[in-house]
Amino acid sequence: MTASIVGWAHTPFGKFDTETVESLVTRVANEAMADAGISAGDVDEIVLGHFNAGFSAQDFTASLVLQADPKLRFKPATRVENACATGSAAVHQGLRAIAAGAAKIVLVVGVEQMTRTPGAEIGKNLLKASYLPEDGDTVGGFAGVFGKIASSYFQKYGDQSDALALIAAKNHKNGVANPFAQMRKDFGFDFCRAESEKNPYVAGPLKRTDCSLVSDGAAALVLADAETAKGMTKSIGFRATAHAQDFLPMSKRDILQFEGCTVAWQRALEKAGVTLSDLSFVETHDCFTVAELIEYEAMGLTPRGQGARAIKEGWTLKDGKLPVNPSGGLKAKGHPIGATGVSMHVMTAMQLAGQAPEGMQLKNAKLGGIFNMGGAAVANYVSVLEPLK
């Protein structure tokens, strides 16, 4: 283990007319440094995760982090991007800097402001995370891509509408206890299952409650090398990480397999020397409920085509054998693209430090897994975290 999370910060996710990318970035940067008990002068390197792809007119944003404190001037600062896994790409880049001996303390920030963009443009921007020669004309944008995936899954394994509604209901119920969540409302299974004026079909068999939210928000982490972390008040260590990148065109792979997800989980668990059953909980990438369903299978929780068992038998509930998305996931918490992966690491670190909000905190959380996905199972990142102090 080469690095630990020693501080963090997280804005609420939602729609913020008075915020900007700059204000969100500087806010979490300062709060994360304060939480870690360090000054800006202690930071050796900065990594910013910011997808943009049309959401922000300002498209050269790495240096915006320097606005948080004049002492950050002249620090190395780089922006990274890997679609919806941009936040985890930033975290992993920070870990690499520490592993290489280039930095002892790295400030990682993830941000996105999406809600100021008109609806039609939002869909167009998100569709850029797919292979445009094949998917560029998909009706419904990126939701339409996952609507096709859901339809193919239903055709192969039968109607999974009950399972998708159960996943949506679970994540919305979990989100009620998360003060950072964009939507803190327990809709219940019946509302999520039934088509209605407030819950219409969006793409294929996916209804509105099957789709993550358009969000603004930011999150930040302070990473420290092992020696430096010993002197910090808290330390959440990286037991293992893995990144598996797959082909962008869905035509070149079996999209129902999420093979990159499987490979990333297998690599991370092997490095960590643990099995899936050793994990206390998982924060996974439920951009759409069908994604979480397939991820159950890809991570090895159930055999292929049997993901519904995990939710129908209560395995992934907060009191189940492997709670999934106790934070509410992207479904309730929101999905500001560049911030999502950093947020998942913050939520997991809070759980392992025993500092999650009341009602969200799990008992005796010892080992947390994170899966963050860019595109349709193209960029696949896994982290396994454990508390060191």
For residues 309-340, one letter each, b for 16 or more C-beta atoms within 10 angstroms of the residue's C-beta and e for the rest, the string is: bbbeeebbbbeeebbbbbbbbbbbbbbbbbbb
CA 74 to chain centre: 30
Q: Which 8-state DSSP code applies to residue 272? A: H
Inform me whether the pLDDT recorded for 1 exceeds 80: no
Residue 218: HSE in the Cβ half-sphere, 13 Å Cα cutoff: 28
Architecture of domain 3-117+214-229: 3-Layer(aba) Sandwich (3.40)
**114 is written with which tokens?**
């999406």
The tens digit of pLDDT for each residue in 158-186 reads 999 999 999 999 999 999 999 999 999 99
Pairwise CA distance, residues 287 & 374, whole Å? 10
**pLDDT band, very low/low/confident/very high, at 232 (cuts 50, 70, 90):** very high
Which pLDDT score is estimated for 280? 98
- By C-alpha distance, which of 148, 146, 190 is closest to 166? 190
Which pLDDT score is estimated for 141? 87
Residues in Cβ contact with 58 at an 8 Å cutoff, skipping those fewer than 6 apart: 21, 22, 64
Which segments within the chain are labelled E, that is strand? Answer: 3-10, 45-50, 77-80, 105-113, 201-203, 206-207, 216-225, 236-245, 281-283, 368-374, 379-387
- By C-alpha distance, which of 92, 89, 86 is closest to 128? 86
The pLDDT of 287-293, averaged and rounded, is 98
**169 is written with which tokens?**
């209901």
Inform me whether the pLDDT recorded for 49 exceeds 90: yes
The tens digit of pLDDT for each residue in 58-110 reads 999 999 999 999 999 999 999 999 999 999 999 999 999 999 999 999 999 99
Which pLDDT score is estimated for 285? 98
Distances (CA, A) of 242 to 65, 260, 262, 264, 330: 27, 11, 11, 5, 21
Inform me whether the pLDDT recorded for 120 exceeds 90: no
Which pLDDT score is estimated for 119? 86
Task: Please answer whether residues 46 and 65 qualify as being in contact, where contact means their C-beta atoms are separated by less than 8 angstroms.
Answer: yes
The pLDDT of 209-216, averaged and rounded, is 97
The pLDDT of 219-229, averaged and rounded, is 98
The pLDDT of 341-357, averaged and rounded, is 98
Which pLDDT score is estimated for 51? 97
Residue 190: φ, ψ to 5° = -60, -45
